[in-house]
Chain A
Amino acid sequence: MSLTTMSYLVVGASFALYIGIALWSRARSTGDFYIAGKGVGPIANGMATAADWMSAASFISMAGLIAFLGYDGSVYLMGWTGGYVLLALLLAPYLRKFGKFTVPEFIGERYYSQTARVVAVICLIFISFTYVAGQMRGVGIVFSRFLSVDIETGLIVGMAVVFFYAVLGGMKGITYTQVAQYCVLIFAYTVPAVFISLQVTGVALPQLAFGGTVTDGLSLLQKLDAVVTELGFTAYTDGSKSTIDVFFITAALMVGTAGLPHVLVRFFTVPRVRDARASAGWALLFIAILYTTAPAVAALARYNLTETIQHGVVGEVSANLEYAQRPDWFKTWEGTGLLVFDDKNGDGRIQYYNDRNTEFAVRAESFGWRGNELTVDQDIMVLANPEIAGLPDWVIALVAAGAVAAALSTAAGLLLVISAAVSHDVLKGVLMPNISERAELRAGRVSAAAAILLAGYLGYDPPGFVAQVVAFAFGLAAASLFPVILLGIFSTRLNREGAIAGMITGLVFTLGYIIYFKGVFVAPMAENVAANWWFGISPEGIGAFGMLLNLAVATVVSRLTAPPPPHVVELVQRIRVPRDAPRGTVQST
């Protein structure tokens, strides 16, 4: 059986499973549609959160990104897991106790203001749409590589599947398909990792591969440091970003994670406050399985790649791989344009080194090298892994199904919070408060369908800025939503004026800084280099600064204006405690 047929079978079977689950778990009320009727157990919610959270970027791109960044890649590992500590300790249990449907609804009630609710909806829609476009694009890429169809066809099939279970099943359908998607994606990620780790280091557990012995008694990391520095690259365990930038990017990703609406809403779906706490723990456990495997995959992939191209002493002619002798996986990926060889010195051999290192360039010149000849797209590191390790076709097909699962589960979660914001916050909350439940459910389905179409369009024809701003969704979430939710729980003094001023300041400042250096819609106003950045903080990390600004503005403005009314103070007191009236006292309400 050919790889393509095998991929069709495996991906097709996973789709059949998702659709089957959707039929079984149809949403019958708005409660089902928005928050799965608050009936999801903590383990299932943990898995669903993990799948919801781990996107195409986590599955396909992250390990490759780390492979080329080395230590600097740690910002993604710490940033995208550390946020769960903030979620579990500072937000999840209290939002569950609040017990309504959406994040803007919490902001609207806590700050007794429709304006605050609408500002929150705007932040939410901006964050979610930039994020979802990247997911649809990921689905398209996987389809085009593994199922030999155009990116467009892949997109349409992906949209149709999400349409089916998100529109029909709402949050209930999404939750149980996400549980299935988690199982598919984690299996697909860890199986090739275990094999590669065994082949290279002799250690079966990828989590321990760093210390596994490679050759000459050196550990994987020691050997990798030696191999890459010989080619003029920065040592793998060293970074080139400044400490302050690493600090701020990590902070922005952590806080942004805790402020993402599609993750927050998952904690509304469990029966009790204690289940919300527990599901944050389960979610991080399920995420950590992938996130502690990824750095090993990254180091192994970088080592494999470098050793394949440069298999002997640097400088000896025969030590560089002959292009004609390149392995099969190399040819496959050349076909996609994600791996490009350009024989600059015309010797028929591949030279892969850091030609921007001026010191090393002198040596390279003396070898007769005329510049780096290999361009590797980070995205292929995970996707090509099973082929590099020579694993059977069914494993490769599984990786395709895993990548699609990662992209679809995140896309569905995002689409649902967008539709809930439209039908519940804007339509029922502001425009038509008297709308019947049936009509609201229908509106929810229609807006989910519309959001899917728009997301598909953005994935098909991403305006230049989408790819750039996906990473900034975190900065915006960190600077806009997180601080007002946090203070809404931990301060009884924060009022409407403070929250609105804080959200707007955080959003405008962060967006402004990003546009200034990255040029979204307009040309960048300054070159995006460290010398121009404020305090050396890159646009990727500025969300953490925006968050501090939001906290400061919100606090100062609140002090200068009237305190919140008593019923709001009582609301805050109530969400802080799992049970309304302590045992042994008379229940008053």
Chain B
Amino acid sequence: MDRSNYWRANLRVVAVCLTIWFVVSFGCGVLWVDWLNTIEIRGVKLGFWFAQQGSIYVFLGLIVYYVVRMNAMDREHGVDED
């Protein structure tokens, strides 16, 4: 049944996005911050940058990817609203 195929595909997209979401914020920004801080780019410690700015850019990229991917998937499965 197509409705459950669609749902499973959706769950896969969500799982991939949330893994990245977790890695950039809780990973790079919190758990591995001291290790990443040993790397400095243009006078900015990498871990600190992820915690204060980098993670936000990635969050934005994730939502954009999700929106584009889901809109395409809606059409593939014939469940789009148009």
Pairwise interchain contact A250-B44, C-beta atoms closer than 8 A: no
Task: Tell me which of B14, B53, B79 contacts A583 (CB under 8 A).
Answer: B79
In the complex, A40 has a CB within 8 A of chain B: no
Known: A85-B63, A219-B43, A221-B43. A90 touches B14 (CB 8 A): yes
Whether a CB of chain B sits under 8 angstroms from the CB of A410 is no
A81 at the interface (CB under 8 A from B): yes
**Chain A residues, Cβ within 8 Å of B52:** 66, 71, 73-74, 77, 210, 295
- B43 and A77 contact, CB distance less than 8 A: no
Whether A582 sits at the interface, judged by CB under 8 Å, is yes
Which residue of chain B has the shortest Cβ distance to A287 in the bound complex? B56
A277 close to B (CB within 8 Å): yes
Residue of A nearest to B77 (CB): A582
Interface residues of A in 458-475 (CB under 8 A from B): none
Contact B56 A210 (CB under 8 A): no
A88 to B65, CA, bound (A): 11
Q: Mark B67-80, 1 if CB is under 8 A from A, else 0.
A: 10011001001111
Instruction: Indicate if A284 sits at the interface (CB-CB under 8 A).
Output: yes
In the complex, the answer to whether A84 meets B17 with C-beta atoms within 8 Å is: no
Interface residues of B in 1-49 (CB under 8 A from A): 2-3, 6-7, 10, 14, 17-18, 21, 25-26, 29-31, 33, 37, 41-45, 48-49
Q: A356 on the interface (CB 8 Å rule)?
A: no
A541 to chain B, nearest CB (A): 12
**B63 and A84 contacting across the interface, CB-CB below 8 Å:** yes
Q: How many chain A residues have a CB neighbour from B under 8 Å? A: 51
A246 to B32 alpha-carbon distance, docked (Å): 12
Are B43 and A584 in contact, with the CB atoms below 8 A?
Answer: no
Contact of A78 with B67 in the complex, beta carbons under 8 Å = no
| Contacting pair A280 B63 (CB below 8 A) | yes
A400 within 8 A of B: no
Q: A77-B52, A89-B14, A292-B56 are in contact. Are A211 and B44 (CB under 8 A)?
A: yes
Question: Residue A330 at the B interface, CB < 8 A?
Answer: no
Whether the pair A85, B26 counts as a contact (CB closer than 8 A) is no
CB-CB under 8 A from A71, the residues of chain B are 33, 48, 51-52
Check B44–A88 contact: CB distance below 8 A: no
Stretch at the interface among A154-162, A477-485, A570-578: A570-578
When the two chains form their complex, are residues A219 and B79 in contact, meaning their CB atoms are under 8 A apart?
no
The answer to the question of A82 belonging to the interface, with a C-beta cut-off of 8 Å to chain B, is yes
Q: Which of B3, B26, B43 contacts A250 (CB 8 A)?
A: B26
Closest to B20 in A: A85
Residue A331 interfacial (CB < 8 Å)? no
- Closest Cβ–Cβ distance, residue B42 to chain A (whole Å): 4
- For chain A residues 192-246, which have a beta carbon within 8 Å of chain B? 207, 210-211, 213, 218-222, 237, 243, 246
Name the residue on B nearest A584 (C-beta). Answer: B78
Are A210 and B6 neighbours in the complex by a CB distance under 8 Å?
A: no
B81 and A579 within 8 A (CB): yes
CB contacts under 8 Å to B, within A272-319, are 272-274, 277-278, 280-281, 284-285, 288, 291-292, 295
The docked-state distance in angstroms from the alpha carbon of A221 to that of B41 is 11
Q: Are A219 and B44 in contact (CB-based, < 8 A)?
A: yes
Residue of B nearest to A208 (CB): B42
CA distance A578 to B41 in the complex (A): 44
Contact A578 B62 (CB under 8 A): no
Identify 18 new A-B residue pairs, CB closer than 8 A, beyond the known A210-B43, A284-B59: A66-B52, A77-B55, A78-B25, A85-B21, A85-B63, A88-B66, A89-B14, A210-B49, A221-B45, A243-B31, A272-B81, A273-B81, A274-B70, A288-B59, A292-B53, A576-B3, A578-B80, A579-B81
5 closest Cβ pairs, A-B complex? A219-B43, A583-B78, A74-B51, A211-B42, A295-B52
